[in-house]
Amino acid sequence: KKKKKKKKKKKKSKNTFQFHQLPVCDDIAQFFDYAYVYINDTILFFGGGNLINISKAVHKFSIQKKEWSAFKRTLPIQLRGCFGILNEDNTHIHIIGGHNGYRAVSTNLKTNTILWTDKRTQPLVKLPFQHLELSFLFVIKHKTYKRNLLHEIINS
């Protein structure tokens, strides 16, 4: 007798995509080209710029609370056109590359995630916001980070 081969079932991807309207605070609405990372139901935004100004500010958006805050602590340099990525165990954030207003820079700013996510370490200033007619896409349970996603959505 011939044995029948069992077919292996393909596992379906369990990535979840959610779309939300994003309230945008006035401080960051004027900028694009910022680095950002998603961690613990929070999106952290680093730097950014427009045609006139470049920022070294760091902003936080709480997805659950729909609340914007600005950190008193900032990046050591003004930076735009950079990108952010978490290391594998989410303990550090790397802000890589970009432009400082005078020239392209090949920086790798490494910062501890706790500095930006622990409520006890940073006093925050809560910021007013406006609702823009935008859809915001973020990925849950997936380790793919896309550079300038908000900029692409805003300009599409």
Paired strand residues for 68:
61, 127
| 3-class state of residue 133 by DSSP | strand
pLDDT band at 82 (very low <50, low <70, confident <90, very high): very high
Q: What is the pLDDT of residues 107-139, one digit of tens each?
A: 899 999 988 888 776 656 665 554 443 334 333
Residue 80 near residue 33 (C-beta atoms within 8 A): yes
**Residue 6 confidence class, pLDDT cut points 50, 70, 90:** low
Smallest CA-to-CA distance from 48 within 84, 75, 85, 79 is with 79
Plot region of 62 (φ>0 → left; ψ -120 to 50 → alpha; else → beta) = beta
Q: Where are the domains of the chain?
A: 17-154
Q: Which of these, 29, 97, 23, 85, lies nearest to 57 by C-alpha position? A: 29
Number of Cβ within 10 Å of residue 121's Cβ equals 12
Closest CA relative to residue 32, chosen from 153, 151, 154? 151
135 with 13: CB under 8 angstroms? no
pLDDT at 145: 39
pLDDT top residue among 3 and 149: 3
DSSP characters over 75-92: -SS--BS-EEEE-TTSSE
> In the predicted model, is pLDDT for residue 23 greater than 80?
no
